[in-house]
Amino acid sequence: MKKWIAAASTVAGLLLTLTSPLAAAEGIDDVYKSLRQAMPSLKKEDISPSPVAGIYEVSRGMSFFYATGDGRYVFSGDLVDVQSGTSITENNRKSLRLQQLAKLDDKSMITFPAKNEKYRITVFTDIDCGYCRKLHREIEDYNAKGITVQYLFYPRSGPNTPSFTKAEAVWCSADQNAAMTNAKQGANVTAEKCENPVRQQYELGQVLGVRGTPALVLPDGSMQPGYVPADRLVGILEQGA
């Protein structure tokens, strides 16, 4: 933690005045020309000015690093405003998560709705994950607290594995919600094969930085890893509201 704050303080100690739009655009060109030699797939739109003059943010999916204005030096880690305690980098990750999830519609998720919805969360889940099953056993508790749960599949073992096949069977079932509950209780769910979004959801989870399940994406775009009891989750959601 001390090392993290020291690094953030070093960055924050640089000149904090914003550059003009023209200078910023010229700086992006310089950074792009320098970095694309090492990263041919880099796009100019991956680069943007940071709040620190002369420092540019480069995004590669959910990974971020920072570069000097000439593109010669780069460094990784979160850019933090130590006065406000705000992680600028994490705020950008949140925005990217929300942008990606906004591309999905309700029909591409299996939803357990709250009758009196206050919050809506997206959960990357694995049929065979123990804590995913624990979360689902308490789905009525979440709903009772006003939390609607939208499920996306993230079979941790990857494609062409039993967990992946179970996810596809749940999706292809006539009653997806019942099939989800039965599968998480250990029942053998079978269904005729159909077109399904399991692979796309799995790949989306990788893009968004899912490393384990359950992975909860909250309304502000933050990611909460692991099982969280309904009461505690309400407190987290209230703080972010």
Active site residues: 126, 129, 132, 156
Strands of the 223-225 sheet, one edge to the other = 110-112, 147-153, 119-125, 215-217, 223-225
Distance CA 185, CA 98 (A): 31
The token duo for 236 is 């987290």
Q: Does residue 214 have a cis peptide bond before it, meaning omega lies within 30 degrees of 0?
A: yes
What is the DSSP secondary structure assignment for residue 20, as one 8-state letter? P
The token duo for 6 is 């020291």
Q: Which helix (H) or strand (E) holds 22?
A: helix 21-35
The token duo for 13 is 């100690």
Tally helices (H) and strands (E) across the chain: 9, 11
Distance CA 69, CA 67 (A): 6
Distance CA 30, CA 172 (A): 50
* C-beta of residue 169 within 8 angstroms of C-beta of residue 190: yes
Q: Which helix (H) or strand (E) holds 58?
A: strand 55-60
Distance CA 37, CA 28 (A): 15
